[in-house]
């Protein structure tokens, strides 16, 4: 059983800066996100002993888009990919920044990690944990951002 430990937020555009999207949390604080992520929920997610501000990719369309064409995460620390079934491979097609990824099992425990570079070939390589696709969560973030995550780290999330 996975326990809810999130702070839900709603996304809305701002007219002050047309290249920035503002997400407002239930605590009324504005969060600046890239315009490519305007359709994503933004939530605080418990990862180990830290709360991370993440865009949530929890359906096929959002997971397919991922961090494509994003060059600056602004206030976000990364993106959480969530599957209700075994996960899918990750690719870096049209992703402009290098990313680290950490996968977690269905119970939230650590599974594996990798570093990924933007794809400049066709087809793009696909990334997956070394022992298969039986995972439910993945966090992508800029290189080094997730270095503190180790095999004892557990993610707590529920949609």
Q: Could you tell me the CATH number of the domain that includes residue 31?
A: 2.60.120.1140
**Mean pLDDT of all residues in 110-136:** 94
DSSP states of 24-65: EETT--EEEE-GGGTTSEEEEEEETTEEEEEEEE-SHHHHHH
In a domain, 77, yes or no: yes
Residue 98 lies in a domain: yes
Check whether 57 has a pLDDT greater than 60: yes
pTM of the model: 0.81
DSSP state of 123: S
For residue 7, pLDDT beyond 80: no
Burial class (CB in 10 A: 0-12, 13-18, 19+), 106: middle
Structural domain containing residue 140: 6-156
Q: Which pLDDT score, from 0 to 100, does residue 10 have?
A: 32
Q: Would 109 be classed as within a structural domain? A: yes
Region for residue 132 given its phi and psi (left: phi exceeds 0; alpha: psi -120 to 50; beta: otherwise): left
Does pLDDT of 45 surpass 90?
yes
Number of domains composing the chain: 1
What pLDDT is stored for residue 22 in this prediction?
43
Query: Of the given ranges (5-14, 111-120, 141-150), which has the lowest mean pLDDT?
Result: 5-14
Instruction: Say yes or no to pLDDT of 16 above 50.
Output: no
User: What pLDDT is recorded for position 19?
Assistant: 39
Whether 1 is covered by a domain: the verdict is no
């Amino acid at each position: 059983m996975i326990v809810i430990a999130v702070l839900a937020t709603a996304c809305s555009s701002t007219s002050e800066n047309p290249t920035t999207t503002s997400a407002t949390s239930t605590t009324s604080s504005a969060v600046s996100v890239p315009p490519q992520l305007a359709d994503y929920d933004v939530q605080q997610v418990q990862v180990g002993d830290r709360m991370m501000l993440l865009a949530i990719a929890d359906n096929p369309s959002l997971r397919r888009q991922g961090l494509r064409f994003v060059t600056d995460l602004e206030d976000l620390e990364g993106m959480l990919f969530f599957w209700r079934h075994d996960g899918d491979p990750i690719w870096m097609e049209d992703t402009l920044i290098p990313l680290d990824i950490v996968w977690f099992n269905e119970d939230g425990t650590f599974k594996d990690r990798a570093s990924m570079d933007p794809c400049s070939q066709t087809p793009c390589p696909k990334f997956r944990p070394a022992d298969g696709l039986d995972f439910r969560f993945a966090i992508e973030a800029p290189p080094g951002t997730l270095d503190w995550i180790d095999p004892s780290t557990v993610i707590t999330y529920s949609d």
